[in-house]
Structure 1
Amino acid sequence: MKHYYPFILTLLLCSFTACKENKPKPLSKASDPVTTTPKTEEVSLLDRCINAHGGIQQWKSFVGLAYNIEEKGKTVYQLTHLKDRRAYLKSKDFEVGFDGKTAWAKPDASHIPGNSPAFYYNLDFYFFGMPFLLKDPGVITSDEGTSVVGGKTYETLKVTFGPEVGLTPEDVYYLYIDPETFRLEILTYSVSYFNKEDAQINTAKVYSGYHEVQGLLMPSQLENYAWKDGNLGENKQHTRLFSDIRFLDQIPDDSVFKVPQGAVTEKIVQD
């Protein structure tokens, strides 16, 4: 039997070696599958609203905005330079403008709201240009959570202004935004232009009739309501109808912004 020992030992060694060589090798760390979750930046409520209306880049791609406003049978043409905010307004009763420093009215200011060209020249434009104008320098926005108005839940955005912004930095706005479409539906605001000590939020504007104009969603109607204790009150019979809305790649004749001879003026930007 001793003659078989070397053969048996050799067989065992071969079997052991074969098993060792055929054993599956574990995957190296380099070949292990790696699962990563991409980081997503939170989009602000203001940006969601602006994106729903067409996006700030589309708004900034234009130089001017023109439209007609009709209220109680009277029509006013309005033109605004979107880059520097010069303005020109015209009706059968008056012309109003802003040349970059001075607001003016011709023949006088008796036919315009507040009897003040400085108050009136961008009044409708600012409400009509929401929410895009909230990207202006010095505008401060904060997400105020949800609110219920007339049984409907809205996302709420508060707007205030830096101390050097415009003629009325004390003004406060609240935007009520549809939580599904992120469209602006209601805007409430205070007016501190005439009385800074008693600027209460007692008026709401309801936005409706949205339609696409050159890639941007614009309203065709703004309607005023009383506002009290977080609710819409009576209709103030103050409805603005917007038509012939046009975004412009250039201003055809910017001489219309200049102060005409004989106009009533109010200085806004000091030299």
Structure 2
Amino acid sequence: MKQFSFLLVLALFLACGEQPKKNDKTESETTVEVVEAVNDYPEALHKIFNAHGGIDLWKRQRTLTFERPMPEAPETHTIDLYTRKDRIDTPKFSMGHDGRQTWLLDGDSAYKGNADFYHNLMFYFYAMPFVMADDGINYGETTPLEFEGKTYPGIAITYNDGVGTSPKDEYYIHYDADTHQMAWLGYTVTYRTGEDSNDIRWLRYEWGVFNGITLPQSISWYNYEGRDIKDLRTKIVFENTEISENRKPTGFYGKPEGAVYVASNKQ
């Protein structure tokens, strides 16, 4: 987990808690209502969503799975896209969120990080640009990004008070002007400090298509000076991505026998 200390500063926001559901019919009807109600995104963001398969197709999906290869403990991430319950499985430990609390199964004490922080961290990077359709988000204009002679228009994104762990953080989606595919994400980090920041960090996306939806094959962090992007710093690759309209069995995201609940980061 050598990269974990670096990744700790990269959180976007915590997953939403589950809303009570009575049966599959209720879940399906609720999802359709959400899809039809979301119509106030900026035109450029609509085009970005469409370039990645469309927001309606995304909102029909139930389960997302992807793997993050790691030398000692490769990670399999699984997320319920309706409830935002999740779990990460490795050969050495597992962790997850059951809709109320984060749990950790780690009999050998192999995991040295903060499970409550990490359990959904990679999901919010991986699910770009679609997580920018979540509630509590504000959209604005931003200066285009320049890299290797190409100009990438962008959208500025902020969060309402009380949304996530760091509502003062700011994000910037920059996209290819010809294809409208997302290319870059910029973000500031104010995690729990309450202080504004002008330090924008930059990462670049490479894409693949899975079940009609364009999702990352890799994410690369770059060195930078302000908005002047320099050389590659580190790269995370993903494998064996699957996304479907089927949900996992009841109890899949629940705390397994032998696991313990961990302390929450929420203040």
TM superposition score normalised by structure 2: 0.76
SS of 1:47's equivalent in the other structure is: helix
Alignment partner, residue 238 of structure 2: 242
2:153 aligned to which of 152, 155, 165:
155
Q: Give the CA deviation at 1:250.
A: 2.1
Give the 3-state SS of the residue equivalent to 1:232 in structure 2. Answer: strand
Inter-CA distance 162–250: structure 2 relative to 1 (3 Å threshold): same
SS at match of 1:255: coil
- Per the alignment, residue 255 of structure 1 pairs with 251
Cα distance in structure 2, aligned partners of 1:146 and 1:204 = 13
Structure 2 residue 94 is matched with structure 1 residue 98: no
Distance of aligned partners of 1:121 and 1:244 in 2 relative to their CA distance in 1, 3 Å threshold: same
SS of equivalent residue, structure 2 residue 252: helix
Give the match for residue 212 of structure 2. 215
Shift of 1:216: 0.7
Per the TM alignment, residue 195 of structure 1 is displaced from its structure 2 partner at its CA by: 3.9
- Asked if the contact 2:58/2:213 (under 8 Å) is kept, the reply is yes
Q: How much does 1:161 deviate?
A: 0.6
**Deviations, residues 244-264 of structure 1 (Å, cap 9, x unaligned):** 111122223242322334424
Report the 3-state secondary structure (helix = DSSP H, G, I; strand = E; otherwise coil) of the residue aligned with 2:125.
Answer: helix
1:80 alignment partner in structure 2: 79
Paired position in structure 1 for 2:47? 48
Match of 1:177 in 2: 175
- Residue 251 of structure 1 aligns to a residue whose secondary structure is coil
- Is contact 2:169-2:196 (8 Å) kept? no
Tell me the equivalent position of 2:88: 89
Shift of 1:200: 5.4
Q: How does 1:181-200 map to 2 (within 5 A)?
A: 181-193=179-191, 195-197=193-195, 199=197
Unaligned stretches of 5+ residues in structure 1:
1-40
Specify the alignment match of 2:166 in structure 1: 168
Amino acid in the other structure paired with 2:223: A
Mark the CA change 1:135 to 1:202 in structure 2 (over 3 Å): closer, same or farther: closer
Q: Specify every segment of 5 or more residues in structure 2 that has no aligned partner in the other structure, as ranges.
A: 1-39
Q: Residues 203 and 222 of structure 2 are in contact (CA less than 8 Å); yes or no, is this contact kept in structure 1?
A: yes
Matched residue, 1:124? 122
**SS across alignment from 1:192:** coil
Aligned to 1:203: 201
Amino acid in structure 2 at the alignment position of 1:247: I
Could you tell me how far apart the structure 1 residues matched to 2:251 and 2:196 are? 39
1:51 alignment partner, SS class:
helix
Equivalent residues, number: 226
| 1:78 counterpart SS class | strand
1:232 partner amino acid: I
Match in the other structure for 2:16:
none
Alpha-carbon displacement from aligned partner over 1:141-189 (angstroms, at most 9, x marks no partner): 2132533233210111111111121222122111111111111111121
1:248–1:268 CA distance, 2 compared to 1 (3 A): farther
Amino acid at match of 1:245: T
What's the CA shift string for 1:225-249, capped at 9, x where partnerless? 2232102234323x22111111122
Q: CA deviation at 1:85?
A: 0.4
Matched-pair contact (CA < 8 Å) for 2:168–2:195:
no
* Identical amino acids, percent of aligned pairs: 24
- Out of 257, 262, 267, the residue aligned to residue 265 of structure 1 is 262
Contact 1:107–1:264 (8 Å) recurs in 2: no
- Between the aligned partners of 1:94 and 1:199, the Cα distance in structure 2 is 35
| Alpha carbons 1:102, 1:269 under 8 Å: kept | no
Return structure 1 stretches of 4+ with deviation > 6 angstroms. none
The alignment yields a C-alpha RMSD, in angstroms, of 2.6
